[in-house]
Structure 1
Amino acid sequence: MQNEEIQLASRPVGLPDEKTFRFVTTEMPTPNEEEILVKTLYLSVDPYMRGRMREGKSYVAPFAIDEAISGGVIGEVVESKSSNFQKGDIVTGMLNWARYQTVNETSVQKVNPSLAPISTSLGVLGMPGATAYFGLMDIGQPKEGETVVVSGAAGAVGMIVGQIAKIQGAHVVGIAGSQEKIDYLVNELNFDAAINYKDPDFKTKLKEACSNGVDVYFENVGGDISDEVFKRLNVNARIPVCGAISSYNNKEIDLGPRVQTLLIQNRALMKGFLVFDYIDRFPEGIKQLAGWMMEGKLKYEETIVEGFENTPEAFEGLFKGTNLGKLLVKVAEPSLT
């Protein structure tokens, strides 16, 4: 048998395309002692991965040219030389974009298939869910009756942020990029309002939806959208900065209005964060998210692209807004189903 992996072929300028990725056939790996052979079932494509395709200093090392791209993966153990895992176990970890790979037993964690569909360990019960939970609750600290605005509100993180804010009793306003997403946020997730940023009347509708100002702004997008939200900040507003996807593919540095004066006037807190800052508290966050799910207070949505060969297309789709909720690539079915 032969294996296949996806490597970074070149560093993209602007939006990644077919020249960015390379499919490479490799030999089937064999596990050594304390290792397991993992068959990929699902892999995650995430906006932060675009930053790792650039050279230069960042909070995580860039991907290397001609080496496998890595990210969140759910897999099945098909061979084990570890006393902690057996054939058929479902595991998750930060692994390579490959159909099969060997990893040390310490590189993955078991997934409990009886708790929820296994795909949720890359979404609502994984990194995106934890990002939403800790960013909102630790930095945003929403209070009952406050107004919480979420950009990228129909994405994997944004839709969880909005629902948590609703659980806390906040007035929640989501910003997304299609009528389908707007309808979903309002009708399915019970957001108090949702606004299409492509709407010519976006500024007016944002003002109407935030008639009492903005107490918490969960930042996923940046750019012109955020410039408008910042104009509506209340005194002592909190801004957790999770991402700025609008600028990730820019060829030049993104320039816009300076926010310092608005932060000073409103005594507002703007704080960037990484979900890995909270790694020691992950069990706390996942337990709470799972509890809300079982109580029917928290819904999730997944957009699943079928086929390992379609991974580059799925990644490009992140920046075109094609996904509702968490975007995953389904590579294979478990062997023992």
Structure 2
Amino acid sequence: MAGGEQVVRNKQVILKNYVTEGLPKESDMEVREGSIQLKVPEGTKDAILVKNLYLSCDPYMRNCMKKLETSFYVASFETGSPLSGYGVAKVLDSTHPDFKNGDFVWGMTGWEEYSLITAPDRLFQIQLTDVPLTYYTGLLGKFISMLTMLHFSARYFPEGIDIYFENVGGKMLDAVLLNMRVHGRIAACGMISQYNHDRPEGVHNLMHIVGKRVRLQGFLVADFYHLYPKFLEMIIPYIKEGKIAYVEDIAEGLERAPAALIGLFTGRNVGKQLVVVSRD
């Protein structure tokens, strides 16, 4: 081996087939084993080599399993290559001035044991390590991670709903529109109920947006990364004081990652679904 750099096995979760409609299956993915050199290749600038620790399972990844022909806010995964998503990792080697060996980071990484990241512009250095690192796959990593799903009716909201964070779509959105207050606001971040439909369901109560002068706007967390330091200042004390109860559903090992991801769409998980790749 050139230069004496260490080469190790690298287990990966590969996308085998694009899934155009219906629920994805475990057989649409495959766990393979390759190898990787534990060093950034010579001459590669501003890159880092990381050991992945925790991976986040997120509903938006279902859209990445389709062959997207038009511009979208996410890109398709490549068949034959590892899935990618949010995760927590440890830097093993770096040629980037903002990251050094031993740093913990969160952001976009591969669904594999080790990843060479040549464009780490979507990675954040973890400064606070006195809270569980797993929290950076959800609660601390993406601002809003766990929502309580309620049955919306007038008896729960006698005066209507002021603000609704939309992550479901379909019948849930229809029920919410019936119960919005005048000048209410809806931040639309996702519609998990629609991701497995070839033809998405229609929304029938849109006229309530007019009558109640409701503001409905798309929301992508990346638009607000500049507020991340301020968010940490607010949320960390709440965590340490026990004012936030955060539930995680943990799958151990990359072998269980495909089932964990698919479970999001059948209600299998309780709390934030994540995959433990390594605890050291």
In structure 2, distance between residues paired with 1:272 and 1:116: 31
TM (normalized to structure 2)? 0.86
* SS of structure 1 residue aligned to 2:225: helix
Q: Distance in 2 between matches of 1:25 and 1:72?
A: 21
CA offsets, 1:105-132, max 9 Å, x none?
Answer: 84533224533111111111111xx1x3
Matched, 1:56 2:69: yes
Q: How does 1:307-322 map to 2 (within 5 A)?
A: 307-322=253-268
AA paired with 1:91?
V
Q: State the match for 2:177 in structure 1.
A: 230
Question: 1:113-262 alignment to 2 at 5 Å?
Answer: 114-127=129-142, 130=143, 132=144, 156-159=145-148, 174-175=149-150, 195=151, 206-259=153-206, 261-262=207-208
* Displacement of 1:316: 0.5
Unaligned ranges ≥5, structure 2: 1-7
> Is the CA contact 2:31–2:254 (under 8 Å) kept in the aligned structure 1?
no
Q: Report what 1:101 is aligned to.
A: 115
Q: How far is 1:52 from its partner?
A: 1.4
1:201-244 CA distance string (max 9 Å, x none): xx7xx221112222222211111122122112221111111211
| Cα deviation, residue 76, structure 1 | 2.1
Report deviation, 1:21. Answer: 0.9
Q: What is the percent sequence identity of the aligned residues?
A: 34
Q: Per the alignment, do residues 83 and 244 of structure 1 end up closer, same or farther by CA in structure 2, a change over 3 Å counting? A: closer
Uncovered stretches (5+) of structure 1, i.e. residues with no partner: 133-155, 160-173, 176-194, 196-202
3-state SS of paired residue (2:223) = helix
Please tell me whether the aligned partners of residues 178 and 205 of structure 2 are also in contact (alpha carbons under 8 angstroms): no
Which residue, 248, 270, 283 being the options, matches 2:229?
Answer: 283
Counterparts of 1:303 and 1:48, CA distance in 2: 18
Give the paired residue count: 265
Q: TM-score, normalised by structure 1?
A: 0.72
The answer for the alignment partner of 2:3 in structure 1 is: none
Q: Aligned AA for 1:75?
A: A
| Cα-to-partner distance string for 1:160-187 (whole Å, 9 max, x where unaligned) | xxxxxxxxxxxxxx51xxxxxxxxxxxx
Match in the other structure for 1:11: 18
Specify whether residues 118 and 257 from structure 1 end up closer, same or farther in structure 2 by C-alpha distance, changes over 3 A only. same
- Which stretch of the first structure deviates more once superposed, 247-256 or 28-37? 28-37
Q: Deviations over 1:66-113 (max 9, x none)?
A: 222110121223345556544433222201111112224845332245
**Residue 43 (structure 2) pairs with residue 31 (structure 1):** no
Q: Distance in 2 between matches of 1:247 and 1:264?
A: 24
Give SS of 2:251's match.
strand
| SS of equivalent to 1:210 | coil
User: Secondary structure of the equivalent of 1:207?
Assistant: coil
- What RMSD in Å do the two structures reach over aligned CA positions? 2.1
Letter in 2 for 1:115: D
